Structure 1
Amino acid sequence: MDMMKILGMGASFDKRKFGKDMELFKNKSTNAMDAGSGIVDSVPLELDLLNSSNQYDNEQKSKSVKSKEVDKNVEESNLKFEESVDDLPFENEEQVKDYRKKYQIRSWGTDIPNPFKTFRTMKNRYMFKDYIEKNMVKNGFVDPTPIQKQAIPVSIDKRDLIACAPTGSGKTLSFVLPIIHQIESSSNRRDLTALIISPTRELAVQIYNQIQLLAPKKRISAHILSKTSDAAKMQDPKTKKKYNILVTTPLRLVYAIKNEEISLKNVNHLVLDEADRLLDGGFIEQVDDILTECTCPDLQVSLYSATIPSMVEVLANKIMKDPVKVVVGTSNAATETIDQKLVFVGQEEGKLIEIRNMINAGFKPPCLIFVQSIERAKELFFELVYDGINVEVMHAEKTQQQRDRIIENFKKGKLWILISTELMARGIDFKGVNLVINYDFPQTVESYIHRIGRTGRAGKSGEAITYFTKDDSPYLKNVVNVMKLSGCKVPEFMLDLKKPSSTLKKNLKKRPIERKDISTVPSFDKKRKQHKKNMITQSKIANKPN
């Protein structure tokens, strides 16, 4: 009976249980007028007819502001990488091997350059510009991650690269820094020489923003191909707009190429971010068209992802010259900062009960929930929104403006729960996500790793919960293996589960499991509503004039 109450009535959302955590989600920029108090903190100087503000105090405040601005400029000009004992060079090959082992860096290939220990070492070894150092320190890039230690030297040496590292480990900086350095070192700096491709526009925007943090527009210009009409402007002599770096999704770039709006003949560095998705999904033909247009004889190709299956690696080797492969940690494993859990819910109805019980008990937002289809995302949204939860839904049917607004609100903490399809599973950097829930079991191991990788980023701890039903049981072993490789505790009986056959895995990848609707409306009422809808449709057809 209790179960039926929960399903039929929903769960109440006690905001008091969040305590101090709720303070993180208040809009600090909200002023007194916005809050409806009607109180004005101060009177503008132009309206201060009674001269209630002391002129001397105003002058002193003005001087204080100017002084702080000067101090800030001086402080920023002195931003530098700190000296460290780690700046000492390697003395022999054994030290290099021990260093790689310490940071779980594995590499394959010929003549692999040594990793660097600190960003100061990197700057001195490759003579990076001072402004790059200042911008890196200013934005908090002070200690290199393992993938950055090894991947950056490989790229700067102009070697083709296959890089695999856990989600949230700093892969974007690993390819952005070498590109900026190579453009600075180039004599022909007005050409489009670097091309970065990502599977989604959201990820492309994120990469573009990181470039903007590190490279001033006056020195290096980057462009994100947001509209097809933008491509024509890029190389139009009349507009005189020249870009060094182009960030784009495959479809938009191919469209621009076919309409002869853009030329890639001078591109000498191509980066495929989330390479497994680009080379093993619906993008392979588009990527092939792009590679055909990159005719530069010195083309350098870099592939980055948290998961690189063997078949993708075989395909990658066909388009690369003597590549170096770098893997940090264990291949196809999640970062150890994520506490992974599996929860058996019986049937589909059990998922909604579990979610509502969690909300009733109190949880620490923000939380990201993944489902397998747009319809299911909408259904879950309508169930939770009526429970009084600050929730939003993200899927491909949303306009680009809506998607940008949702991401911005989620990053700022204005949303507690975001429901999404696979659209948000890759690359997007949400530093503060505390919990990821796989409401629907992921269709592939790669999907699972990327989904849960939205939490536990940059060394922070996170939690990932995956619901599974009887129908999901045959595929459970795949996730269990990832959990074990990531250092999570797994029940003994799960370790003895059978692996799904290759046929089962292929079928699941192509076609997800058919699931019941996410709804608390009784099936009888649904059938009655559908019957009424059908009757109205038939009546309209019958009364339609010939």
Structure 2
Amino acid sequence: MAAPEELQLFRKLGIGAKFDTKRFRKDAERSQMIRAQVTPTVSKEEADKALDFFGNLSKQKPSKPAAKSTGDNAARTSAETSSKNNTSEVLKSEGLGVQSKKGKKRKQKEELADSDDSDYSEDSLQLLGDIKASEKKKKRKKKDLTVNKVEQIKQEKLSEFRRKNRIHVQGSDIPAPVTSFQELQGGYGIHPQILTNLQGLGYEEPTPIQMQAVPLMLQRREILACAPTGSGKTAAFILPILHHLREPRRQGFRAVVVSPTRELAKQTFTWFQRLGEGRGFRTYYIEKPAQAAKKFGPNSAKKFDILVTTPNRLVYMLKQDPPIVSLHSVEWLVVDESDKLFEEGKQGFRDQLGVIYQACDSSHVRRAMFSATFAYDVEQWCKLNLDNVVTVSIGARNAAVDTVEQQLLFVGSESGKLLAMRELVRKGLTPPVLIFVQSKERAKELFHELIYDGINVDVIHADRTQTQRDNTVKCFRTGKIWVLICTELMGRGIDFKGVNLVINYDFPTSAVSYIHRIGRTGRAGRPGKALTFFTEDDIVHLRSIANVMREAGCEVPEYMLELKKAKRKERRFLEKRAPKRKSISTTPKMFVDKAMKKRKMIEKSKKMQGKTRKHEALRPDSSRANADDRNKVTESGGNRKNNEQETGKHKGEKVQGKKGATSIDRSAKLLSVNTNGKGLNKRMKKRKGANKYVAKS
């Protein structure tokens, strides 16, 4: 047995270390870490004193235990084995039998557990206290691992759900997507009336963009959302806005939605009214700034909640002194078709959007960007300027809807387009049909060509008045118009349910424009068809459109994908400027020139009518002036020189009309043409006759 000093040194060095007692059992017995298998010959008090490593019981000198020889140990072990054999024989003789293998294993496990408990006494626990503490830590780690495992399983299920619905998210602390509208009522407390209105509009289950965007906005997170056309983006931002506003209040506008076109703004305004029915929210769309100044001015009662408008009208009202509209109480600023509004130049609204962004200066304002196509500069701006923004995209970015059957048709030249169009009409079209052209002039020309082909066709472009545009859209929705010719004006966000065919008469200048055009069909899961004409001049843009079609699963010839790719600068230049094309009109040039001259004459006469009316308004009483003029003519004796002097004319002034006609004749002509009073015309004719008689005499 080792000396006490050695044992103390061993214990000090072994603090915190784990000793394998099974492998080094003899050493453990020698160092008195565990009990020996032999029965001790010493008393219990002496054994306790020997195991009292830190002198807790008494500080007496430890007595040396009697050493045993190895021979004695061997003898004892042989005796024990012989006794065990004898007991087993006795059990057999008594009929108790031998335990089975399973019973032996259980007994061995119990013995091992008892030996472990007996091996580590209270004092040994103090010695190996660090070891026990580490075991407790291990148990805690196991508990933590189970919690982490549950969280990991949950995240895997969410990832699988998002992968199934093609939902891609970027950001931190992203809430789980919802699978039904009832979850919004239970988890977020959305008013049941709003959900009832939503179901009344035909929404039974949320679309992928609504699954993820609605929970994010309900938690007042700023987002950049990109989803295909017809996927329910409008409802995705209307639901959270109505939930956060809670009820009507007299605080001014608390939500602003900006859209690039008046048609899209009116459509969004209609959706706000439908989904907010029964809640009392006051939603407005600005048609005339003069009327808006009375409703929303500084002296108004502020009985309004939501504003849907286009950027130019809103900026005009903000720049007035004082501003017609105040946006200091805005809680939500939503930019619909954000990639279009962020464009620079004449076609974009970046400067106007900057003015609106600065006007919404509330400390708790939140912003959301929605679009069907992705723009890199919009994403970079959002990451720099929005607070902890989350990016949500559905499917592949800048991809067409897979429910649309897309087709490319080579027509050779511009004249071939009209032949192909008439061939489609001859075979039979399934209305409603949308036809896109690149400019309003070409829209007018195509309208005049198709109006005599036996189909109900109409045209919409920027030159038409707002009333005409609204009536055209209304007639197209109700089915009174079968074919609608339009420009890029109608390519953004307009929801025409049931459009069966979209025809790109003029090839789009970019893949983004193509995606928005064909997105007018195949909406909300319905099937649709898109046909695109192309000529030799459109080969520059052909490859990008072919790639979009291939990603959507449409068949594309290999030669289109192998075309030379345009450079970045050239591509940007071509996107902003449409190519020059020959006129669509088949009318001879002579008749076109005549019509132009006639139109100019009509416009000129309208201007002259306006001038004469202003002149009449400024003149004194006409009857009194006529009597004075008649007296002057008779007194002058018919002399032209005296007549000019009396009327105040100078020698250098030119006189219009026939030879010998005076300025009075000129004014008489204008008044006789432009006035409707019969008595005034008669007086002028009499004056003419008097002037002729005086001249002859």
TM-score range, shorter chain: 0.7 to 0.9
Which of 338, 357, 371 aligns to 1:275? It is 338
Instruction: List per-residue Cα deviations over 1:270-318 (Å, max 9, x = no partner).
Output: 0000000101142111100011111112221100010122123223333
Aligned to 2:405: 339
| 1:140 equivalent among 202, 210, 218 | 202
The one of 158, 177, 200 aligned to 2:239: 177
Superposition pairs of residues 436-515 of structure 1, within 5 angstroms: 436-515=502-581
Return the match for 1:288 from 326, 329, 354: 354
Moved more, 485-494 or 403-412: 485-494
Counterpart residue type for residue 336 of structure 2: D
Residue 426 of structure 1 deviates from its aligned partner by 0.5
Determine if contact 2:417/2:505 at 8 Å carries over to the other structure. yes
With a CA cutoff of 8 Å and minimum separation of 6, indicate the structure with the bigger relative contact order: 1
Q: How far off is 1:218 after superposition? A: 5.2
1:221 Cα offset (Å): 1.5
Give the match for residue 421 of structure 2: 355
Q: CA deviation at 1:230?
A: 3.7
Task: In structure 2, give the amino acid aligned to 1:232.
Answer: A
Query: Judging changes above 3 Å, is the alpha-carbon distance between structure 1 residues 242 and 493 closer, same or farther for their aligned structure 2 residues?
Result: same
- 1:221 pairs with 2:282: yes
1:412-451 equivalences under 5 Å are 412-451=478-517
Asked if 2 retains the 8 angstrom alpha-carbon contact of 1:180 and 1:215, the reply is: yes
Q: Which of 308, 329, 353 is residue 266 of structure 1 equivalent to?
A: 329
C-alpha distance in 1 between matches for 2:590 and 2:408:
34
Partner of 2:225: 163
For the structure 1 residues 97 and 358, does the alpha-carbon distance in structure 2 shift closer, same or farther, using more than 3 Å as the test? same
- TM-score, with length taken from structure 1: 0.79
Classify the secondary structure of the residue corresponding to 2:169: strand
Mark the CA change 1:386 to 1:237 in structure 2 (over 3 Å): closer, same or farther: same
Counterpart in 2 of 1:231? 292
Give 1:4-153 correspondences, 5 Å limit: 92-153=154-215
Which residue of structure 2 lines up, in the alignment, with residue 58 of structure 1? Answer: none
* Post-superposition offset of 1:407: 0.5
Distance 1:314 1:459 in 2: 32
Q: 1:159 to 1:531 in 2, by over 3 A?
A: same
Q: Which residues in structure 2 correspond to 1:186-201 (within 5 Å)?
A: 190-201=251-262
Q: Check whether the contact 1:371–1:419 (CA below 8 A) recurs between aligned residues.
A: yes
CA shift, 1:91, in A, is 6.8
Q: Distance between the aligned counterparts of 1:157 and 1:233, measured in 2? A: 36
The answer to whether structure 1 residue 208 and structure 2 residue 208 are counterparts is: no
| Matching of residue 520 in structure 1 with residue 583 in structure 2 | no
1:306 paired residue among 372, 378, 385: 372
Query: Are 1:364 and 2:426 an aligned pair?
Result: no
Which stretch of the first structure deviates more once superposed, 411-420 or 226-235?
A: 226-235
Q: What are the Cα deviations for residues 15-53 of structure 1, in whole angstroms up to 9, with x where unaligned? A: xxxxxxxxxxxxxxxxxxxxxxxxxxxxxxxxxxxxxxx
Change (3 A) 1:285 1:532: closer
Task: Report SS of the residue matched to 1:266.
Answer: coil
Residues 529/284 of structure 1: CA separation in 2 closer, same or farther (3 Å cut): closer
CA contact (8 A) 2:403 2:526 kept: yes
Matched, 1:250 2:316: no
Kept in 1, the 8 Å contact 2:404–2:522? The answer is yes
Deviation at 1:231, TM superposition (A): 3.0
Letter in 1 for 2:488: E
CA contact (8 A) 2:231 2:523 kept: yes
Decide whether the 8 Å contact of 1:234 with 1:243 is kept in 2. no
Unaligned runs of 5+ in 2: 1-150, 605-653, 658-697
Cα shift at 1:238: 6.3
Deviation at 1:510, TM superposition (A): 2.0
1:409 aligned to 468, 471, 475, which one?
Answer: 475
Structure index of larger Rg: 2
TM-score (norm 2): 0.62
1:155–1:175 Cα contact (<8 Å) kept: yes
**Per-residue deviation at 1:458?**
0.3
Distance 1:116 1:152 in 2: 8
SS of residue matched to 2:354: helix
Q: Take 1:207 and 1:263, find their aligned partners in 2: how far apart are those partners?
A: 21
Can you give the 5+ residue segments of structure 1 that lack an aligned partner in the other structure?
1-88
Shift of 1:536: 13
The aligned counterpart of 2:456 is 390
Q: Deviations over 1:415-457 (max 9, x none)?
A: 1100001100010000110000010011121111001000000
- Partner SS for 1:339: strand
How far apart are 1:247 and its partner, in Å? 0.5
The residue type paired with residue 170 of structure 2 is: W
Paired residues in the alignment total: 451
> How many percent identity over aligned positions?
46
- The 1:197–1:534 alpha-carbon spacing in structure 2 relative to 1, beyond 3 Å, is closer
Identify, as 1 or 2, the structure richer in helix.
Answer: 2
Using a 3 Å threshold, how does the CA distance of structure 1 residues 445 and 181 change in structure 2: closer, same or farther? same
Post-superposition shift, 1:390? Answer: 0.6
- Counterpart of 2:524 in 1: which secondary structure? coil
